[in-house]
Structure 1
Amino acid sequence: MILSTANLGDWADLPFFTDDLPAIAAQLDADPRDILPPENRIFAAFQHTSLAKVRVVILGQDPYPTPGHAHGLAFSAEPHVTPLPRSLANIYKEMIDDIGQAPMTADVRFWADQGVLLLNTVLTVPAGEANGHKHLGWQRLSHQVLNATSAKPCAYVLWGKQAQSLAPHISSPNDGTNPENGHLMIETAHPSPLSARRGFFGSKPFSRINSWLAARGEPSINWTDA
């Protein structure tokens, strides 16, 4: 598998793409299973949201393992997907409770176009085998991404223990003009049906992010595309 790094823009300077990607590509080549998402969508999160434009980072685990669902952005799925993936359905339920409405389909690529990096910590998955590529080494990319995005104030959404374990890779922003001008950190239970009632529901992440952005003089995120 030749994983093209074309159209990565300012992300292409991360050491991962020269130091680690060739070995991962070789492992994918040797894997006889169907790999998701399609090869041209593996780096979609970076192609939709440049490093310079990142304002919010939402961490996911790995792509949806159902063929036809994943398109390279955490939690987002192709617009035809029904019923909604269970975690996304809970995200929308919390959004309705928080801001009164939610998107009409599973496709939230329009978040990415507003500076929301929808980052899976593992970028590929064998069809039907969730977390099947967790040992390939993709996590080194997410570590570098978190370090790079945290050079300036950013909102980080860490749902669940796996995402929260990456918090040490988020550094203090390089902004010494105001000691309060730091990151917004939202750390709650994962929206999975197994854990959503343990602190995800009622956490109001969407309004909290927009309030933080407004306080910084930045445009709000249109979460619903309404």
Structure 2
Amino acid sequence: MTGDVADIRTRRGRPPQTAEQAEEVRARIVDGTAAVFTAHGSRGLSVARIIHAAGISRPTFYRYFANAEGPLHVLLTASNTGLVDGIRAALGDVDDPVTMGIGLIDAYLDWARSHGPMLRPVFAELHDPGSPVSGYRVQALDGVRALVRDRFTALGRTQPDPLNLDTALQVCEFCVYRVTTDLEPDTEPTPEAVATARLTMIRSVLVTLGERTDIERALEIPGLFDS
């Protein structure tokens, strides 16, 4: 039982419910799950905590999801989609590799900002094989790799070496991890910390994946490689 709207509306013994009402309740459950996940991580998820955060009854929860992991998977799927779609939009039809690299970094940072405090448990569990977050990380990286390779092909460039591509992506991951997890609770990264992370990410991506002409062009852009 995973929340099929048509089944919910026609369930015997239940009052009629519109699709809009069903989606509103489902969204409340997912929002409640986000609050619990942010506070306790995936191991702290429970139906009891979710229904308390969502302000619903236990029977209502089970009409939409079979267990506490169900709405978490909805959250993580939306997270992956947001990352891959944001990078796809940033790469678009850009023909300048330097602009493309900077756009990729900014799309990644926009994705991170959209998570707010929830980004902490996401990054804390990225490499935890016992967490469902780690499986979604693999899917997201596969999606980003495919986008970068497709753009290289469109530009008539040699496909990036897999090690170089993974190195560039993991530097980006590490930089965001550093600026989001080395904080006191209920605090946000300073603009200076985010700007430093952005520069490190851009420099790493350009040097790791770019050609000599890309580096020469990047040296002409104020702020990128200034001492």
Taking structure 2 as the reference length, the TM-score comes to 0.29
By relative contact order (CA 8 Å, sep 6+), the higher-ranking structure is 1
- Structure with the higher fraction of residues in strand conformation: 1
- Structure with the higher fraction of residues in helix conformation: 2
